[in-house]
Amino acid sequence: MTTFRLPDLGEGLQDAEIVSWHVSAGDRVVADQPLVSVETDKAVVEVPAPWSGRVTVLHGVPGDTIEIGAALAELDLEDEGKDAGTVVGELPGSETIGTPVQAAPAVRALARRQGVDLSKIKGTGPGGAITSADVEAAGSAAGAKAFVPLRGPRRAMARNMARAHAEVAPTTVSDEAVVEGWPPGTDVTMRLVRAMSLACQAEPGLNAWYDGERQARLLHDHIDLGFAVNTDEGLFVPVLRDVGNREEADLRSGLDSMKRDVAARTIPAGELRGQTITLSNFGMLGGRLAALVVMPPQVAILGAGRITAEPRVVAGEIGIARVLPLSLTFDHRAVTGAEATRFLVKVIEDLQK
C-alpha cells in the first residue's frame, strides 16, 4: 500500500481545502483519473491520481484543509512505484506509516487551539479519520466555544489582507466627479475603465508593481485591470486584460463572462492573478469614500462610491448635480502624492466629459 500526498500546486501555496472527492474507498482508479478537487487561493484545482490501483483510504472530507505533502489517499498499486508524470506538481510517494490517530494537520491544529484530546475522539471520516466537525463537536460538548475556521475565498482574503498590511505604506486621496452630463443608461463601470486607462497613460507610475525587498518598480506597458467582485463566499478579483487596447463592447462582454465564472466558481486560477492596477466599484452596494487595500505587488487601487444628487455650482449657478465620489489608495513607497493626485485629476477630467 502506498501513500499519495498532496503535491506542490505552485505559487508558493502551503495548503489546500478539499472541495470534493471523485472516488471512494474501494474504487479502482487509473493514472491521471481525477481523484479530488481542492481549492487554493480562490481557484479550484483538480488533482489526478498519479498511479493505477485500488483506493483503500481517503484522508479528509470536503471542508478539511490539507497541507502540501500531507497524506491524501492510500492506494494498492497495480504497478508498484510507477509514476504517471501528472502535471499538477511534484508527487512524492512513500510507504504508509501508521499513526495512532488519523487526523489531517489542520484538524490537529484545530484540536490544539481548542484544547481537545484527539485520542479521546472517535472519528467519523473515511477509515475512521477525525474531521474538523468531530473536533468542534467535542469542544462544544466540553462547553468550549469553537472557532470556525475560514474556508476558501475568506481564508485567501485573510492571508492577502495580512500581507498587504505588513508590506504596503497606504495613503488615500479623495475627490469627486460631477457626472450630471452623463446620458441615461451610461455604463458606469465602462466609464471608469476608460478613465483609468487614460490616467494610466498619463501617470504610468500607478500602473506598476513594486518589489520592496529590492526597492525596485516595474512600469507596465499594458493595463491588466483587476475588478473587486463581492460574493457571499468572499471577495474575488478577476482580471480584465489589456483594457487600453480593447473596445467597450468587448470589455463589457469579458467582464460579464468573468462575473458569471466567479459566481459559478469555475473561473480559472490564471484569471485571478497578474493585476497591474485594481478598480473597486463599491458604490454599487453603498458608501461614499473608502481607504482601500493595495494588494502587492500592485501600487494603486481606485474606489468609486455611490452616485448621489447634491447641490453644486455648475456653470456658475447653484443646482442639483449627480456626484460620483472617488478614493485612490496608493503605496507611498513607490508613488508620490503628486503622481497620485495627477492620476486622480485625469480620471475626473474624463468622467466629467
The Cα–Cα gap between 24 and 37 comes to: 13
| Grid cell digits, residue 284 | 454599487
pLDDT at 140: 72
Ordered by start, the domain boundaries in the chain are 2-141, 155-351
Cβ atoms < 10 Å from Cβ of 240: 22
Least confident of 98-102, 145-149, 174-178, 328-332: 98-102
First to last CA, the chain: 70
- Give the pLDDT confidence of 161-171 residue by residue, as tens digits: 999 999 999 99
pLDDT at 241: 97
Angle at 342 between CA 340 and CA 346, to 5 degrees: 115
Provide mean pLDDT across the span 283-302: 96
Residue 42 banded pLDDT, cuts 50, 70, 90: low
Query: Are 22 and 36 a contacting pair, CB within 8 Å?
Result: yes
Q: Determine the 3-state secondary structure of 196 from DSSP.
A: helix
Residue 216, strand partner residues: 211
Q: Which of 39, 60, 68, 67 is nearest to 134 (CA)?
A: 60
| Grid cell digits, residue 206 | 500607478
Answer yes or no: is pLDDT of 88 > 50: no
- Give the pLDDT confidence of 262-276 residue by residue, as tens digits: 988 888 888 999 999
The Cα–Cα gap between 283 and 216 comes to: 34
Q: Determine the 3-state secondary structure of 346 from DSSP.
A: helix
Least confident of 28-37, 147-156, 201-210, 308-317: 147-156
pLDDT at 105: 63
Provide mean pLDDT across the span 157-181: 95
pLDDT at 100: 53
Provide mean pLDDT across the span 186-210: 97
pTM of the model: 0.70
The Cα–Cα gap between 126 and 102 comes to: 10
Averaged confidence pLDDT in the chain: 87
Q: How far is CA 163 from CA 106, 158, 275, 297, in A?
A: 21, 9, 16, 11
Answer yes or no: is pLDDT of 12 > 50: yes
CATH number among 3.30.70.2740, 3.30.559.10, 3.40.1640.10, 3.40.50.300, domain 155-351: 3.30.559.10
Provide mean pLDDT across the span 51-55: 91
Query: Fold for domain 2-141?
Result: OB fold (Dihydrolipoamide Acetyltransferase, E2P) (2.40.50)
The Cα–Cα gap between 240 and 224 comes to: 6
Q: Which of 81, 141, 150, 77 is nearest to 114 (CA)?
A: 141
By percentage, how much of the chain surpasses pLDDT 90?
56
| Grid cell digits, residue 290 | 473608502
